[in-house]
Homo-oligomer: A and B are copies of this chain.
Amino acid sequence: AGDPTIVHSGTGKSTMKMSGRVHADAWGFDHDDNIDQIAANNTDEANRLGFRRLRFGVKGNIQDNMVYKIEMEFANGNDAEFRDAYLGWSNLAVLQKVLLGNQKRPYGLDHLNSSRYNVFIERPFVIEAFNEDARRLGLQSYGVSDDEAWNWRYGVFNSRNLQDEGNYVGDHLQLEVASRLANTIWYDDVSGGRGYAHWALAGAHSDVTENQDANEGAVAESRFRTRPEARTAGTRWLDTGRIAGADYYNLLAVEGVVNVGAVQFVGEYQHNWVERDGFNDVQLNGGYVYASYFLTGEHVPWDRSSGTIGRVKPFQNFWLVNKCNGCTESGWGAWQIAARYSVADFSDEDVAGGEAEALTIGLNWHWNDNSRMQFNYITGEIDERTDLVGTGNYDIFGARFMVDF
């Protein structure tokens, strides 16, 4: 380490890792459909080209058992946003790991999975709508049993996404308590984890502010909205708006995974009971199932400590693969196909967030452990929205190139 160009952390008591990712996307919308009637204001959805994620940041340990992380998202040009941003403690008795700061709320497997590993380009309707952008300022404990069969997270969060503003201002704190209990009921150690099964139960109680009181200064976090499992402009195709009179909502989520070698089956369902004052209560819900298969025989690894999927490692890398005594030969990477069926019902009583169903066909070409291409074809339908925003069928094509480092 006599090399003066080696980068060091700022203090002698902290370690540091620096990591990031580049995700570049292209999205095409089939204009033969009546897609121009779907988005708000009758604006036809235009094709897109650009960065979905441009991140880098730092994380590490602080003596003796503290941790930190700041990860920045620069894909939106001028508008930088933080993602994971916290301080915390590890190796605690009972609580195990506790993080304070911006971190993912503990429901929705597809949200808890990293975007580096998820099988489809964008997340399902219900996962994104009930947990928009996933991260909130909170205090959360992360635990795992000694045999790694069980893992859990629970915490308390502010309901507002602070990634644009950095601070929440309001006398009503709009707190949410949420937790997830996960069980890897089968894990085939002999094959290195090529076979496993998982289920988890998660729930949340979110005490949103009922009405917009000027003196309180806070915006009611009682809105559920999402894009069509593709990347679109600002307007969301499904959107309840801020639900009038919403006092609090309770969320229940179930999820399951079965993996047998190159084949994986995943499903989730979430149900949301919104309690309102002066209006009829409403129930919103949605779910999805998907199956994926590696043509080249690899498998989707499983992380038993967090109950999420892990990094795919191709048998052979694309372009070049090191083999035997230093000789190289070309490889074709790992090829994975997948299909997802997703539904959402965000319309109930006077709330017209929309009903949707969509089928996504996906192809993932993994070049190596840290990079892949993803191709998605999505066909769907949106119904039961208000007159202002139309309904109809749509067909969307998407492609992503990604690396992480």
Contacts of A77 in B (CB 8 A): 80-82, 162-166
**Do B319 and A64 touch across chains, with their CB atoms under 8 A apart?**
yes
Chain A 318-353 interface residues, beta-carbon cutoff 8 Å to B: 319-322
**Do A16 and B13 touch across chains, with their CB atoms under 8 A apart?**
no
**Do B18 and A167 touch across chains, with their CB atoms under 8 A apart?**
no
Question: Across the two chains, which residue of chain B brings its CB closest to A62?
Answer: B370
**Known contacts A74-B72, A169-B233; is A13 also within 8 Å of B50 by CB?**
no
Partner of A18, one of B18, B76, B162: B18
**Known contacts A64-B317, A167-B50; is A402 also within 8 Å of B15 by CB?**
no
Of A177-185, A190-198, A214-222, A291-299, the segment with at least 4 beta carbons within 8 Å of chain B is A214-222
**Do B16 and A7 touch across chains, with their CB atoms under 8 A apart?**
yes
**Do B6 and A64 touch across chains, with their CB atoms under 8 A apart?**
no
Whole-angstrom CA separation of A50 from B81 in the bound complex: 14
Chain A 43-62 interface residues, beta-carbon cutoff 8 Å to B: 43-44, 46-51, 54-58, 60, 62
Question: Across the two chains, which residue of chain B brings its CB closest to A101?
Answer: B24
Contacts of A44 in B (CB 8 A): 171, 215, 217
Instruction: Check if A256 is an interface residue, CB within 8 A of chain B.
Output: no
Contacts of A371 in B (CB 8 A): 62, 66, 87
Contacts of A76 in B (CB 8 A): 165-167
Instruction: Check if A147 is an interface residue, CB within 8 A of chain B.
Output: no
Interface size class of A (residues with CB under 8 A): 35 or more
Whole-angstrom CA separation of A75 from B369 in the bound complex: 33
Instruction: Check if A70 is an interface residue, CB within 8 A of chain B.
Output: yes
CB distance from A134 to the nearest CB of B (A): 16
Instruction: Check if A65 is an interface residue, CB within 8 A of chain B.
Output: yes
Whole-angstrom CA separation of A87 from B367 in the bound complex: 13
Contacts of A5 in B (CB 8 A): 8-9, 11-12, 14-16
Whole-angstrom CA separation of A156 from B35 in the bound complex: 29
Whole-angstrom CA separation of A91 from B78 in the bound complex: 34
Instruction: Check if A79 is an interface residue, CB within 8 A of chain B.
Output: yes
**Do A87 and B22 touch across chains, with their CB atoms under 8 A apart?**
yes
CB distance from A48 to the nearest CB of B (A): 5
**Do A87 and B402 touch across chains, with their CB atoms under 8 A apart?**
yes
Whole-angstrom CA separation of A367 from B63 in the bound complex: 10
**Do B405 and A68 touch across chains, with their CB atoms under 8 A apart?**
yes
**Known contacts A50-B162, A405-B68; is A63 also within 8 Å of B317 by CB?**
yes
Contacts of A65 in B (CB 8 A): 319-320
**Do A169 and B46 touch across chains, with their CB atoms under 8 A apart?**
yes
Contacts of A319 in B (CB 8 A): 64-65, 89, 92
**Known contacts A24-B100, A64-B319, A319-B89; is A168 also within 8 Å of B368 by CB?**
no
Instruction: Check if A1 is an interface residue, CB within 8 A of chain B.
Output: yes
Contacts of A16 in B (CB 8 A): 5, 7-8, 18, 405
**Known contacts A64-B368, A89-B319; is A48 also within 8 Å of B7 by CB?**
no
Contacts of A101 in B (CB 8 A): 22, 24, 51
CB distance from A93 to the nearest CB of B (A): 9
Question: Across the two chains, which residue of chain B brings its CB closest to A233?
Answer: B169
Question: Across the two chains, which residue of chain B brings its CB closest to A9?
Answer: B5
Whole-angstrom CA separation of A214 from B18 in the bound complex: 43
Instruction: Check if A201 is an interface residue, CB within 8 A of chain B.
Output: no
Given contacts A6-B6, A68-B403, 4 further A-B contacts (CB under 8 A): A7-B9, A46-B169, A51-B82, A63-B370
13 contacts across the A-B interface (CB closer than 8 A): A10-B17, A14-B405, A24-B101, A43-B214, A46-B216, A47-B170, A48-B167, A54-B70, A62-B403, A66-B367, A66-B368, A89-B319, A91-B320
